[in-house]
Structures are given as C-alpha cells and as structure tokens.
Amino acid sequence: LSLAAPPKEPVLMCRSNNYPKGFYCSWHLPTPTYIPNSFNISVIHGTREMVCEKNVFPKNRCHIRYLQLFSTVKYKVTLTVTNALGKNSTTFTFDEFAIVKPDPPESVVAKPVPNNPRRLEVSWQNPSSWPDPESFPLKFFLRYRPLILDQWQHVELSDGTSHTITDAFAGKEYIIQVAAKDNDIGTWSDWSVAVHATPWTEEPKHLTTEAQITETTSASTSSFMPPPTTKICDKGAVVGSGAVAVCWTAGLVLAAYGVLFI
Amino acid sequence: GDSWGIFTFLCAALCNLPALPALNCTEELGTSQSIQKTYDLTRYLEHQLRTLAGTYLNYLGPPFNEPDFNPPRLARAERVPSATVDLDLWRGLTDNARLAANYRAYSLLLCYLRALDGQAATAELRHRLGHFCSSLQGLVLSIAGVMSSLGYPLPAGPSAPPGTLVAPNDFLKKMEDFWLLKELQTWLWRSAKDFNRLKKKVPPAVVTLRLEARGF
C-alpha cells in the first residue's frame, strides 16, 4: 500500500529543436504521488505572457512559437503541479539562444568504398525537425571506432552531410555516430543511432599480409592501443603504390607490437 | 549628473566616424571573402564579449552579475536599434537593409562602448574595453567594406545619441550599462545569422559579373 503524497518539486526542461520556429518544455515529477496531479505552465517574456500549447502526445509537454527573433529579454517558464494534498513549483529562466539543441542527424549510412580497404563513406541528413537549414545551417560531429577498441576518433565538419573516413583498420567492423549543432548557438544534439560498417576487403584467398596480422593482434588483450604509426597511413589518403607500401610497413610494425603483447 | 553631461559630449565627439573612400581596387578579392571575414569577426567578438561582460558585470556587482538576473526593460527610447525582429521581416530583408542595420547598430554600439571605456574605473576594465573597441571598429570597417564592394551607400554616421537620459542615480546608470552589453551580445548572435544568409546570396561568380558590368 503506497501513501498518497503532495508533489515534490517537479523537473522542468525547455529546448528548441526547431529553431527559429519556437521551443517546447517538458516536465515530470521526481517521485510518484499516487494520486492525480494537474500541471499548469506559464511562460513570461518581458511583460508579455505567452501561451504554451499542451501536446496531446507526449503528455507533460507543451510547445510555443517565437513571436520575435534575437530577443534580448529572457524567457521565464514556471511550472506548478497541484494535487489534493498540496502543490509545488519550479522556474526556469533562459535566453533564446541558450536552449537551442537540434535533434540528432537522421538516416546515417556508412558504406565501404570498393578497392579501398581503409575507407568508409558516411552520409546523413539534417534532422527533419530543423525547419530552415539554409538560413540556420548545422555543423556536425562524427565519431567512429572499431568494435574491438574503446577509443573514439572524432571529426568536426562545418559543411556538408557526408564524410569519408580514410584511416579505418582493414577488415574491422566499425561503429559510427553523428551529432548536430547550430553553426553558431546552443548545444550539440544527442548522438544519432549507431551504424555499423566494415571496410572493403579483397577475396579471402588474396587476403593481404596486413589483414592477416591485424587478425592475429586482435586476439590480444582489449587494452591494446593502436600505435601512432597509423598516422603514416593518413597521409597516404591517395590510393597509390607508395601509400600501400607505407601501409604494409605499418602493418609489419603492428605485427611486431602484437607479438610483444601476446 | 556631471558624468552624463561628459558622456553625451564624448559620444558626440567620438561618433563622427570618417567617411570611407570607395574601395575600388580591392573588389577583385571577392565580396564573398569579405563576407566570410566579417562573419568570422562577429564570432571572434562574441567570444571576446563573454570575457569582457563577465569582468564588467562583476565590476557592477550584484544583482547585475547574477546569471538569472532578468530585469524589466524600462520604457524609454532605446539607445541602440534592437536586434530583435519579426522572423518573416528578418527573412525578407534586402541585402542592403540587412547590412545597413548591422552597420548602424555597431557604429552606435562602438560609440557607447568607447564612452564606457572613458569612464572605466579600473585598469583591467580599460584594457579589456580598449581591446574590444579596437576589434569592434574592425567589424564596422569590415561591414562598410562589404557594402562598398556591393555598391551600397553607407548609412550616415551616428550623431549624438538622441534623448540621452540623465540617469538620476548610480543604480539606473548600471542598468543602462547592463542593457548595453545585452544588446551587444544579441547583435553579435544575430549578425552571425545575417552574414550566413549573405554568404549564401553572394557567390564569387556574381561579383565578377558585377565588376565587368561596371567597367563598361
């Protein structure tokens, strides 16, 4: 049997994922009261009281349209929760620019590049909730790592919705995610849904020496960290015999490391 | 009382920005590069302002340096044209109007900040304000350069600020300073968006055509 309780101070957050259209606020109670609660939300901008339209779904959320852009005056949102045993409230005051946080990028796709064992081609789309990427462009943050390693590689991109990874370990399955942010204001979105991809490899009977060596080294402890020699291969982004020779050298060095650690 | 009289005089003296000569020879550089440079300047200034505002608001003391400080705007003539604008109106601005709005705002803001610098009580504040004013002047000149290269006339330089209120007390003077910094911050946020839009609308090819047309 649970005892009915007056509401504790509610948790309130506001966010603009559709800048410059408007923002939404959502709330919840930190602990249940076990009796019905009613929520009242007020939004004050300077001297004006604005109406936050309650969503049908999800519940405990309301949305509001900006009447003006680039405002100097803060928005003050007050949420009051009431039930038969009492009431409680919380307030959140913020600048228009501070709550901008897009939704994560959509339709993230990662594909191997034929005849390129170190490359992965990643593409994505602007989140559909972002209404005007032309006037309010987004920049992106890409992170990727092979499944066998814990350390992420990061790339920040100020333009475009695609990127080619050129330093992937041959034959290794990668996990890739992308995040978005307005070019100038606000905070980064959550990470997108993760996608997996493995770079192109030749047919098994023509397996390169490097691939065989990395197969051996992957059997060692998970704390194996890639030596900085991988940077040599970065410079060899142009696929040519010279670059391949350097990569083979790096592969042999990897083998030496691997043997040391086993 | 006295300090406001000096303030008005200083502003009138400092605000006669020299008229810029038409920048004929640098047009080949590309207006889009100038727009990019102006955009970069607004981002740099926005970053610099964070430090400057922090220092200045701490100097003003509470409640001005409290993060949630949200005072009502006193009903009076605004010193600087506000960055706040209706969305559709903002979208529909012509390039000329957009640039002119930025130019006017920063010219006035520079003027007011120079006055603040003149009154600054500590060496640290004078140093920061002085540095910021130099950078802000760079921005004003950069905007003027873009307008010139696009063939737009520069708006008339700011005269002495109209209807300057004599602040009856120290607290209200501090409020004025607080709002000045807020306006500046908001303009810098807005300008990033303004120059983003201009970047898209003025590709290098357009500038080349314009130059050729003017030559004949």
Domains of chain B: 28-201 (1.20.1250.10)
Q: How far is CA B208 from the centre of its chain?
A: 29
In a domain, A64, yes or no: yes
β-strand partners of A106: A125
**Could you say which of A165, A197, A229 is where a domain stops?**
A197
**pLDDT average, residue stretch A249-255:** 51
In a domain, A256, yes or no: no
Q: With an 8 Å Cβ cutoff, are B73 and A73 in contact?
A: yes
Residue B157 in this model has a pLDDT that exceeds 70? no
**Could you tell me if A82 and A142 lie in one domain?**
no
Specify the pLDDT at position A45. 94
Specify the pLDDT at position A215. 52
User: Across chain B, how many H-helices and E-strands are there?
Assistant: 7, 0
In a domain, A131, yes or no: yes
Contact list in A for residue B73 (CB cut-off 8 A) is: 46, 72-73
Peptide bond into A58 cis (omega under 30): yes
Helix (H) or strand (E) holding B13: helix B2-14
Number of domains in chain A: 2
Q: For residue A66, what is the nearest residue in chain B, using CA coordinates? A: B87
Task: Write the ipTM.
Answer: 0.78
Contact list in A for residue B72 (CB cut-off 8 A) is: 46-47
> In sequence order, what are the residues at sequence separation of 6 or more whose Cβ sits closer than 8 angstroms to the Cβ of residue B184?
B49, B109, B113
CATH number of the CATH domain containing A151 = 2.60.40.10
Q: Determine the structural domain holding residue A164 and report its residue range.
A: 106-197
In a domain, A120, yes or no: yes
**Could you tell me if A193 and A110 lie in one domain?**
yes
> In sequence order, what are the residues at sequence separation of 6 or more whose Cβ sits closer than 8 angstroms to the Cβ of residue A74?
A45, A93, A94, A95, B70
Return the minimum-mean-pLDDT range out of A25-29, A39-43, A53-57, B131-135: A53-57
Q: With an 8 Å Cβ cutoff, are A20 and B87 in contact?
A: yes
**Could you tell me if A122 and A143 lie in one domain?**
yes
- How does pLDDT run across A70-83, given as a tens digit for each residue? 999 999 999 999 99
Q: Select from A72, A134, A185 the Cβ nearest to the Cβ of B183.
A: A72
Say how many C-beta atoms besides its own lie within 10 A of residue B63's C-beta.
13
- How does pLDDT run across B70-112, given as a tens digit for each residue? 888 775 556 778 999 999 999 999 999 999 999 999 999 999 8
For B18, what's the count of Cα atoms within 13 Å in the CB-facing half-sphere? 5
Would an 8 Å CB–CB cutoff place A70 in contact with chain B?
Answer: yes
Would an 8 Å CB–CB cutoff place A184 in contact with chain B?
Answer: yes
**pLDDT average, residue stretch A108-134:** 96
In a domain, A203, yes or no: no
Q: With an 8 Å Cβ cutoff, are B85 and A136 in contact?
A: no
Specify the pLDDT at position B51. 92
**Could you say which of A69, A94, A119 is where a domain stops?**
A94
In a domain, A155, yes or no: yes
**Could you tell me if A112 and A71 lie in one domain?**
no
Q: Select from B68, B85, B183 the Cβ nearest to the Cβ of A68.
A: B85
CA distance A63 to A52: 5
Return the minimum-mean-pLDDT range out of A53-62, A216-225, B191-200: A216-225
**Could you tell me if A79 and A144 lie in one domain?**
no
CA dihedral B42→B43→B48→B50, nearest 10 degrees, is 110
**Could you say which of A181, A197, A213 is where a domain stops?**
A197
Would an 8 Å CB–CB cutoff place B212 in contact with chain A?
Answer: no
Six-digit token string for A183: 């070019």
In a domain, A144, yes or no: yes
**Could you tell me if A78 and A110 lie in one domain?**
no
How buried is residue A183: exposed, middle or buried, by Cβ count under 10 Å (0-12/13-18/19+)?
A: middle
**Could you tell me if A81 and A123 lie in one domain?**
no
In a domain, A206, yes or no: no
Specify the pLDDT at position A203. 75
Cα–Cα nearest to A143, from A65, A200, A195, A85: A195
Is this prediction's pTM over 0.80? no
Distance from CA of A96 to the nearest CA of B (A): 10
Say how many C-beta atoms besides its own lie within 10 A of residue B154's C-beta.
18
